[in-house]
Structure 1
């Protein structure tokens, strides 16, 4: 089926605005609709590109004063004709349609242009000239979609490695208790914020450890709140700070589905191995 012509559509109805809407209102409604049907956000809709292009053509007509005036004249005439047409019975309607057909044929001999012809000319002019405002709106929509996609990619990149924290505390040279900290009590201090996937204490550099959390919120709370032993406070800092959140931070994430015990132990063993290698590398740098 052939796509409907722009002049045959109710442009205001498509954008869900009034015929008295301002240019600012039209642009706002366009951006809302364009973001909803943008092809990149609707990969499963085969008509997304066509609908998005149709919105751009609608915007062209409605933000151009001359084209909009010509369109409004056609729309007004169409609505008035629809009302009159509805009031006629079938016999009178047939007579009216025959009369209008003869009138249209006769009118073709006159140089005076009808409202429909004027609108078609304005649409053709817009097509040839292009519209700077439409190009600006299209670029704005493109940038908004790219920003949304980038934010999604940044969120997807946040893996366990982004929730790795370095821990330090004071240890005297002759202190055989490692400043009062062990793997057991460190794990107890930290696990209250969330699942700890790996925890390694440096054997060469006393007073140093690395911990990795499963959830970002757990790591953030540990950095902000954990003190450890009052007599020998801990200092926690990110190894690689995760991307900043947009808006307020959400509450601690509690995964509803856990891996099997075997898989969890395998993953934690791998994380422990990586942390040990990182500590060895840092010790070697000294």
Structure 2
């Protein structure tokens, strides 16, 4: 039994005795308890050994004059402390309750002050305008312009091919860039324009033969799909470009009317807000609409 345990266990109570008992009383009580809790008598009880060891240690201390005197002082100090605690318990409880109430009040005051401060900051942002939102608007406008210019360029041509990185390619971590496209596809022919995503790109060539050469000898690690969008000869600007320009104007008007709001919906999805397939489908849809409008216009002219 450790010294720490002695502070929390009343050795006399182990024998159902009090402090005034004699040494003879202690030995008699030990024999009685030992017969009940002896490990040999309780082989299936894991606690029997622990109880027997406590009884043995208590017997050693309480039957030794000096050890018992020292223990009695420790026990008496513990009893005196418990008496004091009970005596002043009500007073301490009141003090504790008062302290907790003051702390709670202080917390409430702090929360109220912070709420008021937050309201003032929100009002300041509303009046001055958010620089963060302003920067986001500018970035959105820039990406819209880039997408519009790319779509315009792509919509003027016939010889379009979609290339993308193979999923099981060793270079699957590579992202499509202009440098990567030119490195792998420039030797097939003159490239007019590129619309690139993370893992795929739409490439417009000057001649259809370039698409045939890619089909015959596609660079390693790439897959391809020939799109070859046909069009009716006309000098009129394609409808897709006009639609994209209208989307840009709409975005500019919304930004001018309310700098504090970011435009929630745009006519053109940006690379940041859609995946490659969505973006490609959007471009192809616009090209198809442009061709349909051109055919109608050509029919009217005839």
- TM-score of the superposed pair, with normalisation by structure 2: 0.29
- TM-score of the superposed pair, with normalisation by structure 1: 0.30
Mark the structure with the bigger radius of gyration: 2
